Amino acid sequence: MFLRARSAPRTARSASFQGLRATSLTRSFGGRTVLDGLELACPAGQLSVVLGENGAGKTTLLRIFATVLYPDRGTATVDGFDVVRDGAQVRARVGVALVNERSLFWRLSGRDNLRLFAATSGVPGRLRDSHLAEVIGELDLGDIADQRVANLSAGQRQRLILARAAVARPPVLLLDEPLRGLDQKGIDRVLEFLAAQSQRGTTVLVVAPLVQELSEVADHLWELHEGRLRDISATAPRALAR
Amino acid sequence: MTRYLEVVRSFARKDFLIAWSYRGTFIVGAIGTFYQLLIFRFVSKLIGGGKLIGTPDEYFRFVVVGIILTGVLRAATSAAAANARRDQVEGTLEVLAAQPMPVALLALGWSAWPVCEALVDGLLTLVIAIPLGFTQVSPNWVPLVASLLLSVLVFLAIGFAAAAVVVASQQGGQLPALIAAGLTLLSGAFFPLAVFPAWLRTIADLSPLTYALRALRASTLPGSGSAGVVHDLAIVGGSAVLLLPLSVLCLTLALQRARTTGRLASF
């Protein structure tokens, strides 16, 4: 009964996909209001970037959309599904990469980590190898995929976390500081990965500190300050071109 | 259903690979089992012959069944809580909670390898016990397998509830060990319940392990009497049907609480 009621496989992209939306979103920690009536609309199939200083509440926003943190007030929806009421439906649509390299199983290889999360994400066994090969190729992990995570560098782990988020080809990617800890080659690779996701019609929400490179690839750009968002898309070359 | 089995198998594989990376513990475990059996072999020579326990060989056979089932009990009751705590501390709980899978599947995944390992350990115990005197057994396979399966389900339910405590409170990792020790003491794993005073026997009657042990012994050992096996299995199965949904509900509520308090990612 519980198995059937709470399960939903990853859902494919579709023309009617509604994107991400937050309305009057509020969340506090220990009396400190981190998100204060935040409003956000990330259009389907586009790359939205939220920039902000450390502690601005960027990861909190991402955690709410990933359903691992509930808001105090307001609503957040993914494809029209509420993150609190319809958690299973939301989880079936998002792949999440939070800044936490300890979220990997360090005594396993990168490939074994990806294999586990492909299974938990609902990728059928017959498709698992092809999904793994795709993300390993896209994020240039071929040489290190069979090494234990404990033996990888911080930048390599960061790319592995991104690969894990994308392994089920979810229609939504939630990425927390995807360029963190990367060298220039790694940054270029991840930017190519983001561009490829965009071409596929994946809805991507990235949160990051004030990083110039992300501004250049974003379709929409916001700055998170004092719990609210300010649209700064005018400073983004790609957004301006739209 | 195939997808669910795939997920459980993937968790089991993950835990096996992690356990295998510390493979010395497998050898230490086997040596420990040998020592434990040797101790009870010698103890059986001291206490055998009485009205309550029978001959030394009969007591040894009695206690081997107790050792095997309490091993499964310890694994099944502690696995989910131990893995939940490990995922909390190591930082993998949050990303697991973000996966599109039911709570029951996460709990089963946490428990799959430890329970399989305990069943393999049980087989190993039998292999070691045979040259030490675990002979003249007459297994009745259908009730034997049913006893083991239903016992595992009841023990898993206790384990899922313990995992709920860990997720909700970020402590309680020792709780399953305490529960397993209490059940082992009360259920006649190492001595017959007839040695208990009447009031303690009444409490023992509330433990599902009491019935699981009785059913397992009845379906394995000669002279244990198989008349009550169906009754005992019905009680163990009924406990599983009652406790499993309740324990999954507890874990679901615990995860919801952690999402509200923001403690999925902290320890």
Prediction ipTM score: 0.90
Locate the domains of chain A by residue range.
19-93+171-242, 106-170
- Asked if A133 has any chain B CB less than 8 Å from its own CB, the reply is no
CB contact under 8 A, B21 and A88: no
In 3D space, the residue among A66, A58, A68 whose CA is nearest the CA of residue A35 turns out to be A58
Q: What is the mean pLDDT of residues B47-68?
A: 86
What was the pLDDT predicted at B26?
Answer: 86
- Asked if A124 has any chain B CB less than 8 Å from its own CB, the reply is yes
Residue A1 has pLDDT above 60, yes or no: no
CB contact under 8 A, B90 and A115: no
CB contact under 8 A, A2 and B17: no
- Asked if B13 has any chain A CB less than 8 Å from its own CB, the reply is yes
Tens digit of each residue's pLDDT (9 = 90 or more) over B121-164: 999 999 999 999 998 888 888 999 999 999 999 999 999 999 99
CB contact under 8 A, B97 and A68: yes
> Considering the entire predicted model, what is its pTM?
0.90
Beta carbons within 8 Å of A56's beta carbon, 6+ residues apart? A224, A225
Determine the distance in angstroms separating the CA of B125 from the nearest CA of chain A, rounded to an integer. Answer: 29
What was the pLDDT predicted at A130?
Answer: 96
Q: What is the mean pLDDT of residues B184-204?
A: 92
Residue A2 has pLDDT above 50, yes or no: no
Q: Which of B8, B101, B242, B261 to mutate to test the interface with A (most CBs of A within 10 A)?
A: B101
Architecture of domain A19-93+171-242: 3-Layer(aba) Sandwich (3.40)
Q: What is the mean pLDDT of residues A41-59?
A: 94
What was the pLDDT predicted at B156?
Answer: 97
What was the pLDDT predicted at B107?
Answer: 97
Q: What is the mean pLDDT of residues B103-111?
A: 97
Q: What is the mean pLDDT of residues A209-224?
A: 87
Find out whether B144 and B45 touch, Cβ atoms under 8 Å: no
Q: What is the mean pLDDT of residues A34-39?
A: 96
User: B132: domain range?
Assistant: 2-265
Q: What is the mean pLDDT of residues B86-109?
A: 94
Determine the distance in angstroms separating the CA of A90 from the nearest CA of chain B, rounded to an integer. Answer: 8
Tens digit of each residue's pLDDT (9 = 90 or more) over A116-126: 999 999 999 89
Tens digit of each residue's pLDDT (9 = 90 or more) over A173-182: 999 999 998 9
CB contact under 8 A, B10 and A115: yes
Q: What is the mean pLDDT of residues A133-143?
A: 95
The CB-side HSE value for A173 (13 A sphere, CA atoms) comes to 30
Residue A10's pLDDT band (cuts 50, 70, 90): very low
Residue A8's pLDDT band (cuts 50, 70, 90): very low
- Asked if B25 has any chain A CB less than 8 Å from its own CB, the reply is no
CA angle centred on A53, ends A50 and A54, rounded to 5° = 110
Q: Which of A10, A79, A101, A103 to mutate to test the interface with B (most CBs of B within 10 A)?
A: A103
- Asked if B174 has any chain A CB less than 8 Å from its own CB, the reply is no
- Asked if B95 has any chain A CB less than 8 Å from its own CB, the reply is yes
Tens digit of each residue's pLDDT (9 = 90 or more) over B6-31: 999 999 999 999 999 988 888 898 89
Amino acid at B73: L
Average pLDDT, chain A: 90
* Bridge partners for A76 per DSSP: A22
Amino acid at A114: L
Determine the distance in angstroms separating the CA of B18 from the nearest CA of chain A, rounded to an integer. Answer: 6
Q: Of B18, B91, B245, which has the smallest distance from its Cβ to A103's Cβ?
A: B91
Residue B187 has pLDDT above 70, yes or no: yes
Residue A21 has pLDDT above 70, yes or no: yes
d(CA A166, CA A42): 18
Beta carbons within 8 Å of A63's beta carbon, 6+ residues apart? A69, A98, B94, B262, B265
Residue A3 has pLDDT above 50, yes or no: no
Q: What is the mean pLDDT of residues A194-221?
A: 89
Residue A7 has pLDDT above 50, yes or no: no
CB contact under 8 A, A9 and B3: yes
What was the pLDDT predicted at B227?
Answer: 73
Q: Give B-chain residues touching A4 at CB under 8 angstroms.
A: 102
Residue A167 has pLDDT above 50, yes or no: yes
d(CA A45, CA A177): 20
Determine the distance in angstroms separating the CA of A221 from the nearest CA of chain B, rounded to an integer. Answer: 25
Q: What is the mean pLDDT of residues B228-253?
A: 96
Q: What is the mean pLDDT of residues A26-38?
A: 95
- Conformation bin of residue B190: beta by default, left when phi > 0, alpha when psi is -120 to 50: alpha
What was the pLDDT predicted at A9?
Answer: 42
3-class DSSP state for residue B242? helix
Residue A212 has pLDDT above 80, yes or no: no
What was the pLDDT predicted at A239?
Answer: 60
Find out whether A45 and A17 touch, Cβ atoms under 8 Å: yes
- Conformation bin of residue B10: beta by default, left when phi > 0, alpha when psi is -120 to 50: alpha
CB contact under 8 A, B102 and A1: no
Q: What is the mean pLDDT of residues B166-178?
A: 88
Residue A149's pLDDT band (cuts 50, 70, 90): very high
Beta carbons within 8 Å of A202's beta carbon, 6+ residues apart? A13, A45, A170, A171, A172, A173
Say how many domains are in chain B. 1
A99-103, A150-154, B134-138: the lowest-pLDDT one: A99-103
Residue B267 has pLDDT above 90, yes or no: no
Q: Give B-chain residues touching A108 at CB under 8 angstroms.
A: 14, 17-18
